[in-house]
């Protein structure tokens, strides 16, 4: 894994972050929707840059990390590190009414993964990319 200073390069910066108030007003699953794409781009960038692997192999590597089961495990590692706002966002997403489920995960894993994604989405939308890197480092992604 790259050093912390390099990790920030793998997360796009939002040109016009929104306020905390605007972010928490969004539905938790909307935050998770954004967080899923940010996490996916982060992992895709990490496995691709400097690799000579075929895209099929890269995809397999990415799907190991960007799946409900892996994200649920990451969430367990991160929970003690979340601040009060992040914990609240995690709980709101985990407890949200979910109309879909993951193909290869239990509903409890899917819910924890949604909580993880919502926190990442919130941090991204509010321009806190340093905090995203800090959390992903703790998770050893």
Number of domains in the chain: 1
Assess if residue 40 is contained within a domain. yes
Q: Tens of pLDDT along 74-118? A: 999 899 999 999 999 999 999 988 766 666 778 888 899 999 999
Please, what is the end-to-end C-alpha distance for the chain in angstroms? 8
Say which DSSP state 18 is in: P
Q: Tens of pLDDT along 20-43? A: 999 999 999 999 999 999 999 888
Residues 6+ apart with CB under 8 A from 102: 67, 68, 69, 109, 110, 113
CATH classification of the domain holding 123: 1.10.1520.10
Assess if residue 5 is contained within a domain. no
Assess if residue 38 is contained within a domain. yes
Q: Which residues span the domain enclosing 60?
A: 23-138
Assess if residue 96 is contained within a domain. yes
- Give me the helices (H) in 79-106, please: 84-94
Assess if residue 6 is contained within a domain. no
pTM value is: 0.87
Q: Tens of pLDDT along 44-55? A: 888 888 889 999
Q: Examine the pLDDT at 139 and tell me if it is beyond 60.
A: yes
Catalytic residue among 36, 52, 88, 130: 36
Per the CB < 8 A criterion, the answer to whether 93 and 115 are in contact is yes
Assess if residue 90 is contained within a domain. yes
Assess if residue 50 is contained within a domain. yes
Q: In the annotation, is 36 catalytic?
A: yes
CA distances from 83 to 40, 51, 139 (A): 23, 35, 15
Assess if residue 132 is contained within a domain. yes
CA 19 remoteness from chain centre: 19
């Amino acid at each position: 894994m790259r050093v912390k200073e390099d990790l920030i390069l793998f997360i796009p910066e939002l040109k016009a972050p929104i306020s905390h108030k605007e972010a928490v007003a969004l539905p938790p699953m909307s935050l998770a929707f954004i967080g899923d794409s940010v996490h996916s781009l982060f992992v895709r960038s990490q496995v691709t840059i400097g690799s000579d692997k075929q895209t099929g192999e890269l995809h397999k590597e990415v799907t190991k990390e960007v799946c409900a089961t892996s994200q649920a495990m990451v969430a367990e590692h991160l929970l003690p590190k979340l601040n009060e706002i992040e914990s609240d966002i995690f709980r709101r997403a985990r407890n949200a009414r979910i109309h879909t489920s993951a193909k290869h995960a239990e509903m409890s894993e899917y819910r924890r993964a949604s909580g993880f994604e919502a926190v990442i989405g919130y941090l991204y939308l509010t321009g806190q990319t340093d905090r995203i890197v800090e959390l992903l480092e703790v998770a050893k992604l």
